[in-house]
A = this chain, B = another copy of it.
Amino acid sequence: MIAVDWGTSSLRLYRLDAAGMVLERRRSDEGVLASAGRFGDVLARGIAGWDDPVVLLCGMVGGRGGWQEVPYLDCPAGIAELADGMQQIQPRGFDGRALWIMPGLRDAAGDGMPDVMRGEETQLAALLDALVVGSHLVCLPGTHSKWVNVRNGCIQRIATAMTGEVYAVLRKHSILGRLMPAEDGRFDAFAFEAGLHRSGEEGGLLHHLFGVRTAGLFRQVAEPALPSYLSGLLIGHELRGCGVFTQRPRPAQVHLVGNDRLLGAYAHALTALGIGVQRHPEDLAAHGLHALWTRRTAAVAA
């Protein structure tokens, strides 16, 4: 089978054997935004030479503005609900293949505003088998960081923080970026921890952000270290606001899913705050799609 993780800005394709082992992988920048209006062509080129009959897709490809919108499922949802929610599409040019798109997940029971994910639920599907017993907190850091409560193998709650995007727009378009070097450079652990510590003080994020400027003006943080200070400040606010600190009881550890660089920063922050971490690799989506397909075909067979 072929597993496709098609997000807003990137496209990852995997060819899997029956046991879910990755045989080949491909990657391009032809994410959903870049592929609008020609999804079929992009996919056909992406899987050229792979003759597997089943193609499973997850991510923003199933969102509004994607290839075909697949409605959100509501939490709580586990492997069974996700497998059952996938929808077959029949675009032209794919005769002899079965194409399926995963649903996203919505947490409507939330704290005043619904929260959603699309793509991360499939990464989580690869972990759910291991999280069948008890309560677990999973964090998938990124442009929009996802915090997910898993209980007895079901995704219960979703909370998203716009940490990565806020970092990027402030870095690139605000007065804070003007004090910083053009590129992020080396991670500065001391400045990162200073930002993390600052996030726990009075004043709120909007005030603390101005402190990034005065930290630079008065040389309390050296200019090359300002990006790390800003990163620590934002991640600190994320953790204190919607992460581990709102959990009762406070969890002893957090499962982290993502790329090494991001996970390094989050692991650093959590460890500094006395929380344990368990890291998982970024490309869980292929394994999740395999698990969901296995579940679906087993259910149909039964």
Contacts and interface: CB of A to CB of B under 8 A. Distances in A.
A173 B240 CA distance: 26
B206 A242 contact: yes
Nearest to A215: B113
A246 interface: yes
B204 A205 contact: yes
Tier of interface size on chain A: 35 or more
Contacts of A175: 165
A169 interface: yes
A203 interface: yes
Contacts of A173: 169, 172-173
A38 interface: no
Interface stretch (A12-20, A154-162, A264-272): A154-162
Contacts of A198: 112-113
Contact of A169 (B162, B170, B206): B170
Contact of A204 (B115, B172, B241): B241
A121 interface: no
A206 B170 CA distance: 13
Contacts of A202: 111, 241-242, 246
Interface in A138-189: 144-145, 159-163, 165-166, 169-170, 172-175
Contacts of A161: 204, 206-207, 209-210
A100 B105 CA distance: 62
A64 interface: yes
Contacts of A203: 111, 159, 241-242, 246
Nearest to A235: B206
A214 interface: yes
A163 B214 contact: no
A5 interface: no
Given A203-B242, A204-B240, A242-B204, A209 B166 contact: yes
Nearest to A218: B114
Given A205-B237, A241-B205, A210 B115 contact: yes
A114 to B, nearest CB: 5
B116 A242 contact: no
A271 B257 CA distance: 44
A161 B162 CA distance: 19
Contact of A206 (B64, B113, B237): B237
A173 to B, nearest CB: 5
Interface of A: 64, 111-116, 144-145, 159-163, 165-166, 169-170, 172-175, 198, 201-211, 214-215, 217-218, 220, 234, 237-238, 240-242, 246
